[in-house]
Amino acid sequence: MKADEAAEMMDKDTEADRFKQRAALAIAVFAMVLAITGLGGSNAGKEAVNNNVLASNYFNFFQAKNMRQTSLELAANELELGWLNDPALSDATKQAMRAKLEAYRRTIARYDSEPETGEGKKELIARAKEYEAKRDHALKQDPYFDYAEALLQIAIVLISVSIIAGVVWLAFLGGALGIVGVLLTINGFHLLVEIPWLS
């Protein structure tokens, strides 16, 4: 073997080592982003479920308040229209019934809005809608994380195969898919761009 052939072989080995080092570094970076993506996707899923449960609870509480309010309105109307106009009732009884009617009307108004406890119908529906909005936000995030995870896994596999097979174009393809996966992860956290087929 001549000296120039040996030098050429050493250059090829050095070049191959540099390629393997860069590929390994890309794998490490994509694996780290994959872990973060998995965490983001898991959190988005949990957040969607939790906020859906909370929204449902507040809607149920709203419905219960609405049913109680309707029952009191019916009772108040019956008291006012039927019994208070009965001439056979004594004035004391009518006065007691008017007091009961006023109590019903106050409770009906309290069921409609109760800012001090946050348990009036207006406050309950506002909170339910707030949790619905949070749920919808988490549901918008989730697909970005799912696709990012898939692309990052494929990227890691392609770059690994390129190291073993020595096929450079596979590393470039894996790198391109990995970069798209990283961008989808960032978008999953911040929702900077809405991609129609992912929403």
Q: 11-25, 35-49, 60-74: which has the minimum mean pLDDT?
A: 11-25
Write down how long the chain is. 199
Amino acid at 121: K
The total number of structural domains that make up the chain:
1
Identify the pLDDT of residue 103.
Answer: 93
Pair 168, 162: CB distance under 8 Å: yes
Higher pLDDT, 77 or 152: 152
pLDDT recorded at residue 111: 94
SS3 track for 36-89: HHHHHHHHHHHHHHHHHHHHHHHHHHHHHHHHHHHHHHHHHHHHHHHHCCCCCC
When comparing pLDDT for 91 and 158, which is higher?
A: 158
Could you give the CA distance from residue 127 to residue 125 in angstroms, rounded to a whole number?
A: 5
Q: What is the pLDDT of residue 165?
A: 92
Structural domain containing residue 137 = 3-198
Mean pLDDT of the 158-167 span: 94
Contact 138, 174 (CB under 8 A): no
Q: Residue 9's pLDDT band (boundaries 50, 70, 90)?
A: low
The pLDDT score that the predictor gives to residue 4 is 57
Q: Is the pTM for the entire model greater than 0.85? A: no
Q: Is the pLDDT of residue 6 over 50?
A: no
Query: What is the per-residue pLDDT for 173?
Result: 97
Q: pLDDT tens across 108-159, in order?
A: 999 999 999 999 999 999 999 999 999 999 999 999 999 999 999 999 999 9
Whether the pLDDT of residue 1 is over 60: the answer is no
